[in-house]
Amino acid sequence: MHFFMAELVGTALMILLGDGVVAGVVLGKTKSEKSGWIVITTGWAMAVAIAVYAVGRISGAHLNPAITIGYAVVGRFSWAEVAPYVAGQFAGAFIGAILVWAAYYVHWQETPDKVSKLLVFATRPAILHRPANLVTEAIATFVLVFGCLALGANNAPTQTGLTPLLVGFLVWAIGLSLGGPTGYAINPARDLAPRIAHALLPIPGKGASGWEYAWVPIIGPLVGGVLGAAIYVRLF
């Protein structure tokens, strides 16, 4: 239960801060409205770093089914623990999304654009081309999982407590370099659970939740995560 709770709390914190920065940028009449992509990628990097610092000592702070399943496939994580980890991640992402909705409660009605409201919760590609979008998500998640394994193998930052910050830098780099085409979900829980929250919450003037695209940020990260873990283990 403590692993489940750690993953829930860590993922909720990550989504609260990560989706929160998106809300600040895209919703109407916020102090940070239209502050841009650099703010979003920086906010997400900090969100991941803080979440990993918060629960890393308890569960290892996977916060992402692509990491959990990728590690399990290559024998770096027990399959018996996959279900509670993934359940905690999805539950935490849903809770985090609800907290973002509450934090920006008065700003939804100040935002006429339906797509902007969806983007607070879930990703949407700049150009809808599902095969290309799938490849982008797989590549970006490959880098994430490969990079996390590489950082975890480096004793120096681990001993000095810098590894969570470096994981945040890794997510920052992915967002800046690979996030433009799809919005870099790189995490099935991060995209699907908040998308469900968008569908269920009473958001004024919201549109559709984009279910025709929702499978891409699930399948792409899972494929990329398994490949990233498998190739890292094979090489090193």
Domain boundaries, the chain: 2-235
- Helical H runs in 74-210? 82-103, 114-121, 130-152, 155-160, 163-178, 188-200
Cβ atoms within 10 Å, residue 149: 20
Give the C-alpha separation, 64 to 82, whole Å.
11
Q: Can you give the pLDDT at residue 219?
A: 98
Residues of the chain where predicted confidence (pLDDT) is lower than 70: 1
d(CA 94, CA 92): 5
| 10: CB partners within 8 A, 6+ apart | 51, 52, 54, 55, 56, 59, 61, 63, 92
pLDDT at 51: 98
Radius of gyration of the chain, Cα coordinates, nearest whole angstrom: 17
Q: What is the pLDDT of residue 4?
A: 98
State the Cα–Cα distance between residues 108 and 27, nearest whole angstrom: 7
The pLDDT value recorded for residue 213 is 98
**What is the pLDDT at residue 196?**
98
| Calpha distance 95→180 (Å, rounded) | 26
Domain 2-235 has CATH 3.40.50.720: no
Q: What is the pLDDT of residue 102?
A: 98
Q: How far apart are the first and last CA of the chain?
A: 33
